[in-house]
Amino acid sequence: MNFTKPRVLFLLMISIGFCTTASAKPDKVDGMNVPFGRIPQEIVNNHYPRSYFPGTEKLGAEEMRITALGTGMPNQSPSNVAACFLVELGNGEAFLFDLGTGSTDRLAPLEGDFSRLNKVFVSHLHTDHVGDLSALWVGGWIQGRYEPLHVYGPSGSAPELGTKHHVDHIREAWAWDVTSRAGTLPNAGGELVAHEFDFSKTQVVYSENGVEITSFPAIHIRDGSVSYRLNWKGLSFVFGGDSVPNKWFEKEAKGADVVVHESFFTPEQWMEIAGFPYKEAYWVTSKIHTPPEAFGKLMSMVEPRMAVAYHYWNHRDVEFDIYERIRSTYDGPLTLADDLTVINLTKDNIEVREVVINHDSWPQGTSREWDTAPRGEPATSLMSKWLEDGKLEGVVPPPKQPME
Ligand SMILES: [Zn+2]
Ligand SMILES: [Zn+2]
């Protein structure tokens, strides 16, 4: 039995007397920006530390790191925010699969390079899978992205139900925000680009630098939900968006290395937790989602090197029941993912651990590339003169350096 009950470890660091005034630019290690003052170490002979401290480990040339950033529900619990998995490759690339509400809170303390976090693959347009797109778009731009944020996602049954429409309207909805930052931040980092594809086809939707990502249909309430498989250097990661067990998933995930799929609450749990009547509870848990026994049956068909269950609150009052129900139909390698569960994958090893985060951590500082990326005119003329004239003079300290 390979059961991992992840534990979120919290490192509380109390810093007394900040005295730095210089900007903490990242260091360059092997051409990558890493947090200031931190040197990532190589892992030899699979000798991983018990916990993963962000930025301290160098990925091998043929290694994948998968971090669960959100494993919960649209109605969030402090322990489990909504769906998001980060995949980092040994070639320096990073891919986000879904970006549910709250997930960017988990992303920041990883202290990663936000200029690399520029590709999101969304499974469908429920808030618990895309709710933090605007947070990464603007937050990531401030924190180091100087190129566009690319959002890959499915079409729907009509143009207004597809990813492009959703993304275009995020851009419109945040016009006040984005135009107000012009000039201060690099131009291109403020761009948000949709790559919509036909949800009904099994097809390669991304192919660059040896990374191939295939989309295939998922069955979830209405047209327009997909799952993904990422292949790179003989390693494979499958991300199931919300779905009932389906034939496309069985085929595309078959024999893959790390296979993530939802495993929802049982109807009885959902009645108790959410107060739903049985009919509605059964509909939600078993008609549009995958209950634990069904997750187990599906994984018995798929036979992954590691099955990963998510999409419930991993609380003690439900997790043992969920575990037992999965085990009634599946006896292979299993991880019940929690927020900040991290999986290192190589051809000969799978390591499942927890990330240790510092609640007071600062995200990695912006890079030299961000400093020098082209900018437009500063947003100095966006307010009315009468409003500008309302400033109290002599209250804000004057600059200590020349401003030109
Ligand atoms: Zn959904
Ligand atoms: Zn969902």
Task: Output the CA 130–ligand 2 centroid distance in Å.
Answer: 10
Ligand closest to 261 (CA) is 2
* 3-class secondary-structure state, position 151: strand
Q: Indicate the residue type of 25.
A: K
How many of the other CB atoms lie within 10 Å of CB of 31?
A: 6
Task: Output the CA 82–ligand 2 centroid distance in Å.
Answer: 8
Task: Output the CA 310–ligand 2 centroid distance in Å.
Answer: 10
Task: Output the CA 101–ligand 2 centroid distance in Å.
Answer: 10
Q: Are strands 235-239 and 226-232 parallel, antiparallel or unpaired?
A: antiparallel
Predicted local distance difference test score (pLDDT) of residue 23: 63
Q: Which CATH number fits domain 3-11+49-388: 3.30.390.50, 3.40.1260.20, 3.60.15.10, 3.40.50.800?
A: 3.60.15.10
Nearest to 195 by CA among 115, 120, 98, 288: 120
The answer to whether the beta carbons of residues 218 and 123 sit under 8 Å apart is yes
Higher pLDDT, 171 or 381: 171
Task: Output the CA 129–ligand 2 centroid distance in Å.
Answer: 6
Task: Output the CA 221–ligand 2 centroid distance in Å.
Answer: 11
| Residues in Cβ contact with 305 at an 8 Å cutoff, skipping those fewer than 6 apart | 256, 257, 258, 333, 350
Per-residue pLDDT band at 22 (split at 50, 70, 90): low
Task: Output the CA 83–ligand 2 centroid distance in Å.
Answer: 7
Ligand closest to 103 (CA) is 2
Task: Output the CA 357–ligand 1 centroid distance in Å.
Answer: 28
* Percentage of the chain modeled with pLDDT above 90: 85
Q: Give the integer Cα–Cα distance in Å for 109 and 194.
A: 27
Task: Output the CA 127–ligand 1 centroid distance in Å.
Answer: 8
Q: Give the integer Cα–Cα distance in Å for 231 and 212.
A: 5
Provide the residue ranges of all domains of the chain, joining segments of one domain with +. 3-11+49-388
The answer to whether the beta carbons of residues 94 and 87 sit under 8 Å apart is yes
Higher pLDDT, 38 or 127: 127
Ligand closest to 262 (CA) is 2
Task: Output the CA 170–ligand 2 centroid distance in Å.
Answer: 20
Q: H or E stretch including 170?
A: helix 163-173
- pTM of structure: 0.93
Per-residue pLDDT band at 403 (split at 50, 70, 90): confident
Task: Output the CA 300–ligand 1 centroid distance in Å.
Answer: 24
Per-residue pLDDT band at 1 (split at 50, 70, 90): very low
Q: Radius of gyration (Cα) for the chain, nearest Å?
A: 22
Predicted local distance difference test score (pLDDT) of residue 6: 43
| Residues in Cβ contact with 145 at an 8 Å cutoff, skipping those fewer than 6 apart | 114, 115, 117, 118, 189, 370
Ligand closest to 125 (CA) is 1
Task: Output the CA 178–ligand 2 centroid distance in Å.
Answer: 28
Is the pLDDT assigned to residue 404 strictly greater than 80? no
Nearest to 233 by CA among 255, 211, 204: 211
Half-sphere exposure of residue 348, counting CA atoms within 13 Å on the CB side?
A: 5
| Residues in Cβ contact with 163 at an 8 Å cutoff, skipping those fewer than 6 apart | 122, 125, 151, 152, 153, 154, 155, 194, 195, 196
Rounded to the nearest integer, the mean pLDDT of the chain is 93
Query: In the structure encoding, which two tokens stand for residue 393, read together?
Result: 């003079």
The answer to whether the beta carbons of residues 331 and 303 sit under 8 Å apart is no
Task: Output the CA 219–ligand 1 centroid distance in Å.
Answer: 10
Task: Output the CA 384–ligand 1 centroid distance in Å.
Answer: 44
Q: Are strands 57-58 and 235-239 parallel, antiparallel or unpaired?
A: unpaired
Is the pLDDT assigned to residue 14 strictly greater than 60? no
pLDDT digits (tens, 9 = 90+) for 297-309: 999 999 999 999 9
Predicted local distance difference test score (pLDDT) of residue 362: 84
How much is the average pLDDT of 253-259?
Answer: 98
Nearest to 73 by CA among 82, 61, 64: 82
Ligand closest to 71 (CA) is 2
Query: In the structure encoding, which two tokens stand for residue 16, read together?
Result: 């007394």
Q: Give the integer Cα–Cα distance in Å for 137 and 241.
A: 21
Ligand closest to 73 (CA) is 2
Ligand closest to 222 (CA) is 1
* 3-class secondary-structure state, position 62: coil
Ligand closest to 82 (CA) is 2
Ligand closest to 124 (CA) is 1
Task: Output the CA 75–ligand 2 centroid distance in Å.
Answer: 10
Task: Output the CA 292–ligand 1 centroid distance in Å.
Answer: 16
How much is the average pLDDT of 318-322?
Answer: 95
All residues with CB under 5 Å from ion ligand 2? 128, 242
Task: Output the CA 189–ligand 1 centroid distance in Å.
Answer: 29
Tell me the C-alpha to C-alpha distance, in Å, between residue 353 and each of 67, 344, 376. Answer: 10, 8, 44
